[in-house]
Amino acid sequence: MNIFAKLFSQPVMKPLFGQRNRGIEIKSEPEIEIMRTSGKIVATVLKEIAEIAEPGMTTADLDAYAEQRIRQMGATPSFKGYHGFPASICASVNHQVVHGIPSRKQVLKLGDLLKVDTGAYYQGYHGDSCITIPMGKIPDSTQKLMEVAEQALYEGIKQVKPGNSLLDIAGGIEDYVRPHDYKIVENYTGHGVGRNLHEEPAVFHFRTDALPNVKLRPGMTLAIEPIINAGSKVTRVLPDQWTVVTVDNTLSAQFEHTVLVTQDGYEILTDRTLL
């Protein structure tokens, strides 16, 4: 039994990292304001990592940079020590899907596809986001996978508004990805986020009746984070009990934002374009 089977009550579809608490929390305006700051910290770190990451660096280098910057901005890394995770970022390269452990042995190479996921805990609230970064020039097929993964996230976010449901988010993502003949990873979900890094509800990225189809309400804060694979949707966990990889060694890409449900739509709390 791997660590995820031990941590989650739903063994088929699991949050991407850790255990959700029960109950959906509606955030107050003061809480939302704090989350805007935690989200901005995460967005800043990811934007800077995207600018400095290059072939020859190690994923441990990027982890050290992220931890330093998160702490400089008055927050603490959400991931470090969380259920024993040893780092401040997840750094997943190429066929690694999620939860890659940064390492001095993992030297980035030209053409690699790097996923960097991180979180910041600021004044009692978390922000959470992920980006995919190409290492220099990449093949057109890899570029397309990355672009589809990013747009899939935004197609899901477009469905965020009061009265819509989690199935609307899932449908927006699925309907965009399907014509491209890529696969959505089904056994890891997004999640609520706030006082806890992982809260209810599970935010799924494809249509399913296996999880509650929650109606969206103002004040909900959701981490939406579809994972798109070039080949099989099936994954496996490596012996380190953290790193998830594609079973067929094909590439995987992912983007994630922390999103607030507003009175008339949504606000992306980890928006890097506003920095």
Single-letter amino acid, residue 54 = E
Is 180 labelled as part of a ligand binding site?
no
Cα–Cα distance between 107 and 192 in angstroms, integer?
33
**Does 200 belong to an annotated binding site?**
no
Tell me whether residue 117 is annotated as binding.
yes
**Alpha-carbon span 51 to 201, nearest angstrom:** 33
Backbone torsions φ then ψ of 131, nearest 5 degrees: -135, 160
Q: What are phi and psi of 206, to 5 degrees?
A: -150, 160
Cα separation, 104 vs 248, whole angstroms: 25
Query: Residue 257 is which amino acid?
Result: H
126 is in an annotated binding site: no
CB-CB contact of 121 with 74 (8 Å): no
Q: Which residues contact 123 (CB under 8 A, 6 or more apart)?
A: 34, 37, 38
CA 221/CA 22 separation, integer angstroms:
15
Q: What gap in Å lies between CA 234 and CA 248, rounded to an integer?
A: 8
99 has binding-site annotation: yes
Asked whether residue 29 is marked as a ligand-binding residue, the answer is no
Rounded Cα distance, 115 and 94, in Å: 8
128 annotated binding-site participant: yes
Give SS3 for 58: strand
β pairing state of 199-203 and 21-24 = parallel
Q: Where are the beta strands (DSSP E) in 83-157?
A: 89-93, 96-98, 113-122, 125-134
For the record, the structure tokens of 152 come out as 């899939």
Binding-site positions for a divalent metal cation read 117, 128, 191, 225, 256
Binding-site positions for substrate read 99, 198
Binding-site positions read 99, 117, 128, 191, 198, 225, 256
